[in-house]
């Protein structure tokens, strides 16, 4: 009997690539175990208040920050595959969950800290675990909403012909979810996961430096390192932090996201310009392994069998429900009305005893100022990045080369530019109400760029060829060919950028460099000052007003525009 005849291909033997992979896995396990051990130590023994600016500490800080971000990403994926799926699958649940997701997305991220820090610290009194969970939760709130919306939109837009095919094959709801709907959502989910990781970097400084009232904890990480460097006016430490961030982003991009993007290309269903690219080196290395490749194949086989489990009823002729649908809808609406009235009454009772009319009006006026900044920011970002994104997206090679640079810039925390802005404003006696606004642009413009590149990349090549054959050029090409085709993508990017700008307002309307602190009039500065002071009532009022502004803007502007674009500017 030869080796090739052995059952299960037992002649598979490890090679050098297997050894490298196993060493990397063992190193990752040791790092995770070490970080987990540090999370369980008491706060006084963990040097929570001491952040060393010596660059030799940066590798350890980078590991701690990266682990927090990936823990938040895992929680975001769990949230996406439960909350978003429930909202997409249940019409009645979606009537509550999607507006609630709008509210959660509109609530400023830093506003969560005021309420969650006390909660998590109370769960683990005297332990670093509470502070770590508070930081992870803050990063989670900067990642989860975008991924949940991406999953929800994908599940709601599965092509009817694919749904019909699943019905003809008699797939159960479980099989249809894992064999049709999840594969269809994977490209969008992978792309939005990358964007969410960039959004997490934007808030990492504030998540690792917890300052709420009398609570002041600096968790070891790149974010707290940057915060201390800004406080001590150490420009070299900021440059070291930038280098460490670049190294971390390059590492997880090459090790994780490049392989995921290449894998997700298998599930593309559009016929637009594809970003075809050679396989990433990680996939090439994995294919050269023997043991690890066989392990991955076996794991994939197990996952495939789980996806084919016949859970749920198979599609059959429609049955008459025991309770009429109209009766259920009426009961559901009545229950929602009761909940809304109860919440409204409780809110009115609390507000009437804690706030005056003048105070509420003042905060609303501050919200109007921030609204003007948000709209100007979205307009400026659109003027700059729409033509650039189209130019990049129409060329797969340019798009590939620009993707990494755009991802790094999107992950770049805006407060690293605070020293330049603050020094410039103080030196030239500029108006901080105007010149702090460009900082808001740094955290929002990339959402527009990412979506424009995606829209231009998926533009049907036959329509572009037809425009070239008819010699459509210049402004006519822009107004009649390209801009209508990318309108749905632009509105999605503008909507996301608008939400990001509201959150960034808290970080950008108050800028500091050492002992110098500049503040602009606006709702973001109001919430930031209240958070530092531990004024829970003021934070709650600011969060409620900001959520109301975002919801009204979404309902009055972005949602109607999105529906209009879906009806008039989509390719069927």
Contact indicator for 452, 390 with CB cutoff of 8 Å: yes
Q: Are residues 385 and 522 located together in one domain of the fold?
A: yes
Q: How many domains does the structure of the chain reveal? A: 3
Q: Are residues 293 and 255 located together in one domain of the fold?
A: no
Structure tokens at 104: 């959660």
Q: Are residues 116 and 207 located together in one domain of the fold?
A: yes
Residue 178 sits in which domain range? Answer: 62-270
Q: Does the residue 4 lie in any domain?
A: no
pTM of the model: 0.79
Structure tokens at 121: 């610290």
Which of the listed residues 270, 285, 320 is the one where a domain comes to its end?
270
Q: Does the residue 10 lie in any domain?
A: no
Q: Does the residue 144 lie in any domain?
A: yes
Structure tokens at 70: 């990936």
Q: Are residues 489 and 510 located together in one domain of the fold?
A: yes
Contact indicator for 436, 249 with CB cutoff of 8 Å: no
Contact indicator for 444, 378 with CB cutoff of 8 Å: yes
Q: Are residues 119 and 189 located together in one domain of the fold?
A: yes
Q: Does the residue 509 lie in any domain?
A: yes
Q: Phi and psi dihedrals of 272, rounded to 5? A: -80, -165
Q: Are residues 107 and 159 located together in one domain of the fold?
A: yes
Look at residue 212 in the predicted model and tell me its pLDDT: 57
Q: Does the residue 333 lie in any domain?
A: no
Structure tokens at 359: 């105070």
Question: Could you give the angle at the alpha carbon of 62 between the alpha carbons of 59 and 66, nearest 5°?
Answer: 140
- Going by C-beta distance under 8 Å and a sequence separation of 6 or more, which residues neighbour residue 562? 488, 491, 492, 495
Query: What is the spatial distance between Cα 444 and Cα 502, in angstroms, rounded to a whole number?
Result: 9
Mean pLDDT by 10 residues, the chain (572 residues): 43 71 78 71 56 88 90 93 90 82 71 72 78 87 85 82 81 86 86 80 76 69 86 85 86 85 77 57 80 81 82 66 67 81 83 85 92 91 90 78 65 66 77 80 79 81 85 86 87 82 78 75 85 78 86 85 79 62
Structure tokens at 24: 């990397």
Q: What CATH number is associated with residue 431?
A: 1.10.3720.10
For 190-248, write each residue's pLDDT tens digit: 878 887 887 777 777 778 876 655 566 778 888 888 888 888 888 888 889 888 888 88
Beta bridge partners of 511: 518
Q: Are residues 78 and 94 located together in one domain of the fold?
A: yes
Q: Are residues 170 and 287 located together in one domain of the fold?
A: no
Q: Does the residue 510 lie in any domain?
A: yes
Give which of 560, 388, 570, 416 is closest to 486, Cα–Cα: 570
Q: For the residues of 51-112, what is the DSSP string, one character each?
A: ---SGGGHHHHHHHHHHHHHHHHHHHHHHIIIIIHHHHH-HHHHHHHHHHHHHHHHS-HHHH
Contact indicator for 252, 189 with CB cutoff of 8 Å: no
Contact indicator for 233, 513 with CB cutoff of 8 Å: yes
Q: How many CB atoms lie within 10 A of CB 213?
A: 14
Look at residue 415 in the predicted model and tell me its pLDDT: 62
Q: Does the residue 34 lie in any domain?
A: no
Query: What is the spatial distance between Cα 399 and Cα 393, in angstroms, rounded to a whole number?
Result: 5
Structure tokens at 336: 């929602």
Q: Are residues 127 and 223 located together in one domain of the fold?
A: yes
Look at residue 8 in the predicted model and tell me its pLDDT: 45
Q: For the residues of 167-181, what is the DSSP string, one character each?
A: HHTT--HHHHIIIII
CA 128 to chain centre: 26
Query: What is the spatial distance between Cα 381 and Cα 533, in angstroms, rounded to a whole number?
Result: 33
Q: Does the residue 212 lie in any domain?
A: yes
Contact indicator for 289, 151 with CB cutoff of 8 Å: no
Q: Are residues 208 and 132 located together in one domain of the fold?
A: yes
CA 324 to chain centre: 40
Q: Are residues 87 and 145 located together in one domain of the fold?
A: yes
Q: Rounded to whole angstroms, what are the CA distances from 416 to 201, 314, 472, 499, 547?
A: 12, 56, 44, 21, 27
Look at residue 410 in the predicted model and tell me its pLDDT: 63
Which of the listed residues 270, 298, 333 is the one where a domain comes to its end?
270
Longest dimension (CA), the chain: 90
Contact indicator for 76, 141 with CB cutoff of 8 Å: no
Q: Phi and psi dihedrals of 571, rounded to 5? A: -95, 120
Look at residue 74 in the predicted model and tell me its pLDDT: 93
For 239-264, write each residue's pLDDT tens digit: 898 888 888 888 888 888 888 888 88
Q: Are residues 401 and 468 located together in one domain of the fold?
A: yes
Burial 325-345, CB ≥16 within 10 A → b, else e? eeeeeeeeeeeeeeeeeeeee
């Amino acid at each position: 009997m030869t080796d090739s005849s052995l059952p299960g291909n037992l002649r598979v033997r490890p090679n050098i690539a297997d050894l490298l992979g196993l060493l990397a896995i063992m190193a990752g396990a040791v790092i995770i175990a070490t970080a987990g051990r540090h999370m369980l130590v008491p706060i006084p023994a963990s040097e929570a208040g001491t952040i060393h600016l010596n660059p030799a500490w940066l590798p350890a800080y980078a590991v701690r920050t990266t682990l927090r971000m990936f823990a938040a990403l895992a929680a975001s994926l769990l949230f996406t595959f439960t909350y978003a799926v429930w909202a997409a699958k249940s019409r009645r649940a979606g009537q509550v969950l999607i507006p609630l997701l709008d509210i959660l997305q509109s609530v400023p991220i830093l506003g969560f800290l005021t309420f969650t820090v006390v909660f998590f610290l109370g769960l683990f009194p005297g332990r670093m675990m509470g502070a770590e969970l508070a930081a992870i939760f803050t990063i989670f709130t900067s990642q989860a909403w975008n991924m949940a919306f991406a999953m929800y939109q994908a599940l709601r837009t599965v092509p009817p012909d694919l749904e019909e095919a699943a019905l003809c094959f008699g797939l159960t709801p479980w099989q249809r979810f894992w064999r049709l709907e999840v594969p269809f959502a994977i490209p969008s989910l992978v792309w939005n996961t990358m964007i969410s990781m960039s959004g997490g970097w934007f808030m990492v400084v504030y998540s690792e430096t917890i300052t709420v009232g009398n609570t002041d904890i600096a968790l070891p990480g790149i974010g707290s390192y940057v915060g201390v460097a800004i406080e001590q006016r150490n420009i070299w430490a900021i440059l070291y932090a930038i280098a460490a961030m670049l190294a971390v982003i390059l590492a997880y991009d090459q090790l994780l996201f490049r392989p995921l993007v290449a894998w997700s290309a298998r599930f593309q269903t559009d016929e637009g310009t594809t970003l075809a690219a050679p396989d990433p080196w990680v996939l090439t290395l994995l294919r050269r392994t023997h043991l690890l490749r066989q392990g991955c194949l076996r794991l994939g086989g197990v996952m495939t069998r789980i996806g084919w489990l016949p859970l749920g009823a198979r599609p059959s002729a429609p049955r008459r429900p025991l309770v009429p649908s109209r009766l259920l809808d009426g009961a559901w609406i009545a229950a929602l009305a009761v909940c809304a009235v109860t919440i409204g009454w409780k809110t009115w009772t609390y507000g009437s005893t804690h706030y005056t009319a003048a105070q509420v009006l003042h905060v609303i006026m501050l919200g109007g100022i921030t609204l003007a900044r948000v709209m100007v920011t979205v307009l400026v970002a659109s003027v700059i990045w729409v033509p650039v994104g189209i130019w990049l997206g129409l060329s797969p090679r340019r798009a590939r080369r620009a993707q990494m640079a755009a991802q790094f810039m999107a992950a770049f925390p805006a407060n690293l530019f605070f020293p330049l802005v603050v020094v410039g404003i103080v030196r030239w006696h500029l108006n901080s109400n105007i010149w702090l606004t460009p900082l808001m642009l740094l955290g929002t413009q990339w959402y527009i760029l990412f979506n424009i590149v995606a829209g231009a990349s998926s533009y049907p090549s036959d329509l572009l060829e037809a425009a070239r054959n008819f010699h459509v050029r210049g402004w006519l090409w822009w107004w009649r060919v390209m801009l209508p085709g990318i309108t749905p993508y632009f509105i999605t990017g503008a909507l996301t950028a608008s939400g990001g700008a509201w959150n960034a307002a808290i970080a950008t309307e108050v800028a500091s460099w050492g002992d110098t602190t500049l503040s602009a009039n606006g709702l973001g500065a109001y919430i930031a000052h209240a958070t530092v002071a531990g004024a829970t009532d003021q934070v709650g009022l600011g969060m409620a007003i900001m959520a109301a502004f975002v919801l009204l803007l979404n309902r009055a502007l972005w949602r109607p525009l999105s529906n209009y674009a879906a009806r008039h500017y989509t390719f069927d």
